[in-house]
Amino acid sequence: MKTLIFAASAAMLPYAALAHDGMAVTDAYARGANPKSGAAFMLLENHRKVDCTLSGVASDAAERVELHSNSEVDGVMKMAPIPDGITIPAEGEELLTRGGNHVMMMGLKAPLEDGQVIKMTLDFGECGTEEVEIPVDNQRSGDSAADDMDDHQHGHENH
């Protein structure tokens, strides 16, 4: 019996390797900014030998889902859509963070509540799509005060 289990395990190894032959999404979570908007953050890992660009995101949780970036302009943090997507270099990674690049959800169909799971489809163009389930964690704190989710409310109150 041990031989059979070992043989079956060995036969599955090539398939396990294939699971990491594309894009991987880790450490994903979402937070609500207010009852109508929220954001998702995650680590995107590119296991391919070519650059991959996250060009769009879709979710049934909100009317609009966009890639956004924060930048400081004249001492004020501003948020704006990223029209050309986010490129993840070959065999590299990109961290979507509070206070940086992130996924913005506007026109939430319901406020984001702790423990809830949001389904998203990440579109990497020629590198394919990834279906992810993102837990809501409104208690998760950022690395600095600039990462505070309150920053995400500015400019999104009417979405």
Give the model confidence (pLDDT) of 86-112 as tens digits. 999 999 999 999 999 999 999 999 999
pTM summary value: 0.77
139 SS3 class: coil
d(CA 59, CA 2): 45
Least reliable range by pLDDT among 12-16, 33-37, 44-48, 139-143: 12-16
Q: pLDDT tens digits for 61-77?
A: 999 999 999 988 899 98
d(CA 106, CA 113): 15
The yes-or-no verdict on residue 151 having pLDDT over 90 is no
